[in-house]
Structure 1
Amino acid sequence: MSMEFNWHKEVEKRWDGNVQFWSDKSKDMWENGSRSSIVPFFEKHVEAGSRVADVGCGDGYGSYKLNQAGFSVIGVDISPKMVEYANQQAQEGLQFQVGDLSSLPFEDHSFDGLIAINSMEWTETPLLALQEMRRVLKPGGHLCVGLLGPTAGPRQNSYNRLYGESVICNTMMPWELEQLAAENGFRIKDGEPVYKEGVTTAHTEALARPLQQALTFMWLSMLVKQ
């Protein structure tokens, strides 16, 4: 990777330029599409009323859904323009601020729960992001990570690494994330697949967990701070 390449700045620039594109599709993903199972999965493990940060919140629609479910939510994103848009759309009780997943603007032990949906993929060093999220969680706090699976089209963002080019999308696999988490202060509590059309849990329930993950568009991991 060249010395001139700044991952943080490139990610910020990419998402600053994606505000309208993302906001046009975000609501449908959370209501009906690939993100519609996330809040119900989170609710199974974290009590309503808990203080939660949505890290990598984008346009803030996921934060809104968590707020509607009864959580006290603050959204954080690396993109100032995403945060500006989210604040313009914010419902009462919601707030958004700029922050880097690898250097969160919060005190230690600030949150009961965190949610990071397709945001660890955009970090240069996922371990630093994981350590930061652990830092701001209370002991026993829950972290829900949604990680793009092997069948996810957006993983194409990392393809040009094969030509030796600098890219800003990480190719970490769900089983790698869970191993990294288990080695760095988290317990794996639960997991849930999100599949593309054509694959259902009926096809995969008899498979070992790594094989289930290998077919996913996204894998939801529920981690607990040890």
Structure 2
Amino acid sequence: MDETAKARRVWDKAAPGYDRQIEFLERHWFTGGREWIGARATGRILDVGVGTGRNLPFYPAGTTVTGIDLSPEMLAVARRQARRPVELHEGDAENLPFADASFDTVVCALSLCTIPRPRAALAEARRVLAGGGRLLLVDHIASSWPPVRAGQWLLERITVPTAGEHFTRRQLPLVEQAGFTIVEVQRLKAGTIERVHARV
């Protein structure tokens, strides 16, 4: 089974209990990340790794939202829970089924950590963004505190082979390498959470 198929299987299995499991982490670790995204997202929004749609309530009125996710089970939950119009697609972040310059904002929240080839996903995000478009990322990354970083490395010995989830990746250098201009970076929680706002 390739990495993409494995990721689909993992998230299909996780879908029924995902919201319940993530709520605690969002209160205590990822605090405010979705609000941060919503305050910066504009125009035609593409939510990559939309999952169960937890970002949807935070997007401003007047925006249009398209979501894409590998997992049909996660998308099924998003469809049931959506309280605003949203166009949902099953698909791969590394090969987006959208034309060049189709969106004003691309969001990826807590998803690049599990995408097998994050460079490919960022290249695709850049391709589908219109000139001046925004990339908004929130994810967990390698801690700036060595004892925590060591624990994250140990945790990856389990999470990478079983779920494809990385804790020691850092997306900021990949964003820069993809040709984006960095507008804003916030690093929180002993350096384990990073928010990146970049422009094409």
TM-score class, shorter-chain normalisation, is 0.7 to 0.9
Task: Report the 3-state secondary structure (helix = DSSP H, G, I; strand = E; otherwise coil) of the residue aligned with 2:59.
Answer: helix
Equivalent residues of 2:45, 2:104 under 8 A apart: yes
Aligned-pair CA distance for 1:129: 0.6
Aligned-pair CA distance for 1:92: 3.5
**Inter-CA distance 223–172: structure 2 relative to 1 (3 Å threshold):** farther
Alpha-carbon distance between aligned partners in 2 of 1:150 and 1:180, rounded to the nearest angstrom: 14
Aligned-pair CA distance for 1:156: 6.4
Alpha-carbon distance between aligned partners in 2 of 1:161 and 1:79, rounded to the nearest angstrom: 18
CA deviations 1:42-96 (Å, max 9, x no partner) are: 355444xx111111111112123225x5532122111011111111222241232
Equivalent residues of 2:67, 2:89 under 8 A apart: yes
Which deviates more from structure 2 when the two are superposed, residues 99-108 or residues 11-20? 99-108
* Greater C-alpha radius of gyration: 1
**Inter-CA distance 149–100: structure 2 relative to 1 (3 Å threshold):** same
**Inter-CA distance 160–46: structure 2 relative to 1 (3 Å threshold):** closer
Q: Gaps spanning 5+ residues in structure 2: where?
A: none
For the pair 1:78 / 2:70, whether they are aligned, the reply is: yes
**Inter-CA distance 178–59: structure 2 relative to 1 (3 Å threshold):** same
Query: What is the aligned partner in structure 2 of residue 205 from structure 1?
Result: none
Equivalent residues of 2:101, 2:131 under 8 A apart: yes
Equivalent residues of 2:104, 2:130 under 8 A apart: yes
Task: Report the 3-state secondary structure (helix = DSSP H, G, I; strand = E; otherwise coil) of the residue aligned with 1:17.
Answer: helix
Query: What is the aligned partner in structure 2 of residue 212 from structure 1?
Result: none
Alpha-carbon distance between aligned partners in 1 of 2:31 and 2:158, rounded to the nearest angstrom: 30
Equivalent residues of 2:10, 2:163 under 8 A apart: no
Equivalent residues of 1:158, 1:169 under 8 A apart: yes
Query: What is the aligned partner in structure 2 of residue 179 from structure 1?
Result: 173
For the pair 1:42 / 2:69, whether they are aligned, the reply is: no
**Inter-CA distance 157–107: structure 2 relative to 1 (3 Å threshold):** farther
Alpha-carbon distance between aligned partners in 2 of 1:161 and 1:90, rounded to the nearest angstrom: 29
Q: Which amino acid aligns with 1:14?
A: V
Q: Gaps spanning 5+ residues in structure 1: where?
A: 196-214
Equivalent residues of 1:13, 1:79 under 8 A apart: yes
For the pair 1:124 / 2:124, whether they are aligned, the reply is: no
Match of 2:156 among 141, 144, 158: 158
Task: Report the 3-state secondary structure (helix = DSSP H, G, I; strand = E; otherwise coil) of the residue aligned with 1:54.
Answer: strand
For the pair 1:9 / 2:5, whether they are aligned, the reply is: yes
Query: What is the aligned partner in structure 2 of residue 218 from structure 1?
Result: 193
Q: TM-score, normalised by structure 2?
A: 0.83
Query: What is the aligned partner in structure 1 of residue 44 from structure 2?
Result: 51
Alpha-carbon distance between aligned partners in 1 of 2:159 and 2:19, rounded to the nearest angstrom: 28
Aligned-pair CA distance for 1:149: 2.3
Q: TM-score, normalised by structure 1?
A: 0.74
Identity level (%): 23
For the pair 1:91 / 2:78, whether they are aligned, the reply is: no
**Inter-CA distance 133–93: structure 2 relative to 1 (3 Å threshold):** same
Alpha-carbon distance between aligned partners in 2 of 1:161 and 1:28, rounded to the nearest angstrom: 19
Equivalent residues of 2:153, 2:168 under 8 A apart: no
Alpha-carbon distance between aligned partners in 2 of 1:224 and 1:77, rounded to the nearest angstrom: 23
